[in-house]
Structure 1
């Protein structure tokens, strides 16, 4: 019990550490697992590990726990692939998916076979495992580097879409191995078994998605049971597919998630949020445990020139070849192509699927030779080598490399709004008149409908959630205006998003108490200089008014600026010569010559 609790606690600590130092969580998860596992043998008198996953789960129980955990992770990954979101990602990303899968699969297998001396069956499986990237590793890296919008869009969408594609490719390759004979790569028997296994997965996943859609759309489940029942559906689908054909469960739950993601289910967002929480728990526990299971001998097998050469070929030969084939004839510059070629971190799906396949191949489930069993033992350390190598190397060098190539983004002039309230939409509509990018975030369907009516881009849901921070493109939005009617939410919004944008880039409405603070110093970064709260502003903007703008003819210091602003009915923001906007607040130091102030004049 103590070891199990230790694994879970250390997993959560690794997740927090990754968030705190702004690196993908998979890196501290693996490193902590290695520290309490193989590396800890140097500090014990009998050479035992501090924590060993094999002592917690024995035999088939370990296999079943990992198998089901990876299935749930792949289901959640499948639910992230929404086809309607892929229509606008551009031909470059589609080509990256095609060439990335094909070149990495074929080139990686050939390189692994000749460099490491591994048979083609295991080599193809390894190359399939390293196709994936994933938003959990690429997201933190992009937020740290801040590349320009074109690079950001390409890498972000490649990371989202390649996860289920790569996982599906790895599952199909593994299923083909299971369906074959020990010494033959392609046989009629293997093809027949592969087809049956694939059909079992597709049919099981399709049936599960159909039933789930019907149940949810006909509201046959109360809200408080939806998430847990869907979790039960996923587990049942996994088990049912395995009954139809052994080892088809992973394919079934991946297909299940992908179909469900593209169906018209009203409560899909809450289901996905719940699955993300479950996946976080599983990942935290799974990778610390699996890392702890490795032995020093597994790591020593990689301490040679061959593994280093394989890493170089995969990262610095195959990846640039993928990007070159995908970007020919596009408008991307050579500097942008070089940087995209440099960024290819591997993530959680690769580690999870590699761990599961290693267990299966080394426990005699697959029809492979004893020599191939020994080769299969290298799958996990090889995959971890690629993951740790890419995350560490690219995490440390990507930002200076981007600055060297001059592909970092300029200061974005877009404004993100917390709350599609009457006040927020009022400011957003004015900003749109001056061609300033805006986006409003809200959980209220009524507020979002009003935003859509005015053709204002929306983020449906809370911008404060981890998922929102992962998905919002901050390359376009450099400031936050918190404009909800709830002051606590506004304060929380500024505190949360300031970690992404910086404290001097987040602003909020004043509370009623702050408006009435005449003798005390008010907090900085209050919109409208803290003179109006939500209710006061709502009352003001309902009056007849005109949006005015004025070109500033001379630079004014802070005192002159305040005197000037006091003469205007409702100053809103200032547009600088580079089309950058700053709101009118008490932290405004000066107004420069050439700036344009936008204000509201109320009709008498």
Structure 2
């Protein structure tokens, strides 16, 4: 009990640590698992591990727990794969998916065979495992390095699309191995078994996707039970498919996620919160537990020159080759191509799928492979962990200096993000957009969202504070946040959370009614529009459809003079050269030649 509880607590600590120091969660999860697992044997008198995953779950139970956990992760990956995005993506991204899959599978497979001496079956399975990248890994790196739009867009969409594609290829290679091993020689019967696994996965996933659609369409489940029922459906899909044809469950839940992710239903959006509630717990527990199962001998082998050579081939041979072929005929310059070729960290799906395959194939009791191949399969997990840790550390530490060296960084963003799509926010957003400033509004109100769309304003339909928004919204495009909702507590929370993405000095909010009654010198420095009106007051002003005025203010003295001589104006922004705007606050201190004051006559 204490070991299971310890893994959960350490997993949650690793998640918090990754958020705190802004690195992908997979890195601290694996490192902590290694510290309490194989590395801890050097600190104990009897050579035992502090925590050993093998003591928590026995063989069959371990298979089931890991399989279902990986199935849930793959279901989440399937939800992110939108068919319409594949049709509309640029050629470069489509090429990265195709060449990335083919070259990494074949090149990685041959590299492992020639360098490590593994059999072709295990070698190509490892090649399939390292295909994936993933948005949960690439996202923090992109936010940190602030690369330009070309690089940011290509790497972001590659990470989203290649996760389920890579996982699907790995599943198929795995099924090929186990069906091929079912006879002494590969015969038509093995091929039939392989096709049966694919058929069972596709049909079962499709049937349960249809049933889920009926349940959601007819509202047969109350809202508060939706995530729970969805969890049950995913597990049931996995179990039924695996019963029909062994090892087809992973394919079935991936298909289930892909189909549901492409349904045009409002209820599907709520399923995405499924990963927020369950996936973090599973990921935290799974990877600390699995990395704790690694042995010292496995780690020692990773220090061998062959493992290092394999890592270098993956990073500096296969990835550049993929990018070179994928960008032929594109508009990218050589600096952008070089940076994209340098960035391809591996993530959670790679570790998850490697875990289940390593456990399954290396088990002597199952008798799937020969003893030699079982020993090779046991090395799948540590080799994958080496690739994950190596790529995250190498690219996480060096990507930002490389962006500066190559000169492919993003210029200072001039976009403005609005928390709330109410009347005042819509009014200001439309004006700013007319000045060449990019804007986006985020709201949960159906009415506000509809009105914003009617005004042709870009709007995020949901909470900007959700995990989904933090993953999907490219905050690097926006230099400022204006929190304009009626709830001061929400505004303060938004500034705190999003301030970690774009900087605390770049987040602003409306004052509360109480703050309007105190001395301005005691107020926070980031209150909008000179801290003169709260939400109700500002809404009443904008409902009158006022005309926005502009006036040249070339210095701080001139700006202050305008405010003193015109006490019947509401100052909104300072327009700056280069399509930039800064909101007027009580502590504004930057007014220079060429600036213009944007205001409303009251």
TM class, shorter-length:
over 0.9
Q: How far apart are residue 84 of structure 1 and its match?
A: 3.2
Are 2:530 and 2:571, in contact at CA under 8 Å, matched by a contact in 1?
no
- Distance (Å, rounded) in 1 between the aligned partners of 2:103 and 2:184: 23
The aligned counterpart of 2:8 is: 8
Q: 1:69-93: per-residue Cα shift (whole Å, max 9, x none)? A: 1111111111122223445432111
Are 2:520 and 2:586, in contact at CA under 8 Å, matched by a contact in 1?
no
Q: 1:116-160: per-residue Cα shift (whole Å, max 9, x none)? A: 111111001000000001111111111111111111111111111
Distance 1:3 1:227, change over 3 A: same
Q: How does 1:113-124 map to 2 (within 5 A)?
A: 113-124=113-124
- Distance (Å, rounded) in 2 between the aligned partners of 1:590 and 1:351: 49
Are 1:152 and 1:475, in contact at CA under 8 Å, matched by a contact in 2?
no
Q: How far apart are residue 63 of structure 1 and its match?
A: 1.1
Q: How does 1:356-375 map to 2 (within 5 A)?
A: 356-364=356-364, 365=366, 367-375=368-376
Higher deviation after alignment, 294-303 or 279-288: 294-303
Distance 1:532 1:245, change over 3 A: same
Q: 1:559-596: per-residue Cα shift (whole Å, max 9, x none)? A: 54222134262222122112221111122114222112
Q: 1:386-408: per-residue Cα shift (whole Å, max 9, x none)? A: 00100011111111111111111
- Distance (Å, rounded) in 2 between the aligned partners of 1:227 and 1:304: 46
- Distance (Å, rounded) in 1 between the aligned partners of 2:265 and 2:212: 9
The aligned counterpart of 1:256 is: 256
Q: How far apart are residue 352 of structure 1 and its match?
A: 0.7
Q: How far apart are residue 271 of structure 1 and its match?
A: 1.6
- Asked whether 1:231 is paired with 2:226, we answer no
- Asked whether 1:538 is paired with 2:536, we answer no
Q: How does 1:333-482 map to 2 (within 5 A)?
A: 333-364=333-364, 365=366, 367-482=368-483
- Distance (Å, rounded) in 2 between the aligned partners of 1:560 and 1:199: 75
The DSSP-based 3-state class of the residue aligned with 1:416 is: strand
Q: How far apart are residue 286 of structure 1 and its match?
A: 0.5
Q: How far apart are residue 544 of structure 1 and its match?
A: 4.7
Q: How far apart are residue 467 of structure 1 and its match?
A: 2.2
Distance 1:533 1:355, change over 3 A: same
The aligned counterpart of 1:94 is: 94
Report how many residues are paired. Answer: 599
Q: How far apart are residue 519 of structure 1 and its match?
A: 6.5
The aligned counterpart of 1:65 is: 65
The aligned counterpart of 2:562 is: 564
The aligned counterpart of 2:165 is: 165
Distance 1:116 1:185, change over 3 A: farther
The DSSP-based 3-state class of the residue aligned with 2:80 is: coil
Distance 1:285 1:133, change over 3 A: same
The DSSP-based 3-state class of the residue aligned with 1:600 is: strand
- Asked whether 1:515 is paired with 2:513, we answer no
Higher deviation after alignment, 408-417 or 460-469: 460-469
- Distance (Å, rounded) in 1 between the aligned partners of 2:24 and 2:303: 24
The aligned counterpart of 2:180 is: 180
Distance 1:569 1:341, change over 3 A: same
Q: How far apart are residue 274 of structure 1 and its match?
A: 2.0
- Distance (Å, rounded) in 2 between the aligned partners of 1:186 and 1:534: 72
Could you state the TM-score of these two structures normalised by the residue count of structure 1?
Answer: 0.97
The aligned counterpart of 2:293 is: 293
The DSSP-based 3-state class of the residue aligned with 2:514 is: helix
Q: How far apart are residue 601 of structure 1 and its match?
A: 3.4
- Distance (Å, rounded) in 2 between the aligned partners of 1:508 and 1:184: 70
Are 2:276 and 2:467, in contact at CA under 8 Å, matched by a contact in 1?
no
The DSSP-based 3-state class of the residue aligned with 1:267 is: helix
Q: How far apart are residue 368 of structure 1 and its match?
A: 2.2
- Distance (Å, rounded) in 1 between the aligned partners of 2:96 and 2:295: 36
Distance 1:519 1:414, change over 3 A: closer
The DSSP-based 3-state class of the residue aligned with 1:392 is: helix
Q: How far apart are residue 520 of structure 1 and its match?
A: 5.2
Q: How far apart are residue 183 of structure 1 and its match?
A: 8.9
Q: How far apart are residue 543 of structure 1 and its match?
A: 2.0
Are 1:463 and 1:469, in contact at CA under 8 Å, matched by a contact in 2?
yes
Q: 1:462-516: per-residue Cα shift (whole Å, max 9, x none)? A: 1112221121112321110001011111111111111111111001111112222
Are 1:112 and 1:123, in contact at CA under 8 Å, matched by a contact in 2?
yes
Are 1:484 and 1:534, in contact at CA under 8 Å, matched by a contact in 2?
yes
The aligned counterpart of 2:578 is: 578
Are 1:178 and 1:366, in contact at CA under 8 Å, matched by a contact in 2?
no
Are 2:133 and 2:159, in contact at CA under 8 Å, matched by a contact in 1?
yes
- Distance (Å, rounded) in 1 between the aligned partners of 2:598 and 2:184: 74
The DSSP-based 3-state class of the residue aligned with 2:573 is: strand
- Distance (Å, rounded) in 2 between the aligned partners of 1:185 and 1:7: 43
- Distance (Å, rounded) in 1 between the aligned partners of 2:551 and 2:185: 75
The aligned counterpart of 2:140 is: 140
The DSSP-based 3-state class of the residue aligned with 2:433 is: helix
Q: Extract unaligned runs of 5+ from structure 1.
A: none
The DSSP-based 3-state class of the residue aligned with 1:440 is: strand
Are 1:180 and 1:367, in contact at CA under 8 Å, matched by a contact in 2?
no
- Distance (Å, rounded) in 1 between the aligned partners of 2:219 and 2:546: 46
The aligned counterpart of 2:196 is: 196
Are 1:177 and 1:366, in contact at CA under 8 Å, matched by a contact in 2?
no
For the aligned residue pairs, the C-alpha RMSD in angstroms reads: 1.5
Distance 1:437 1:187, change over 3 A: farther
- Distance (Å, rounded) in 1 between the aligned partners of 2:464 and 2:76: 20
Q: Extract unaligned runs of 5+ from structure 2.
A: none
The DSSP-based 3-state class of the residue aligned with 2:231 is: helix
Q: How does 1:466-505 map to 2 (within 5 A)?
A: 466-505=467-506
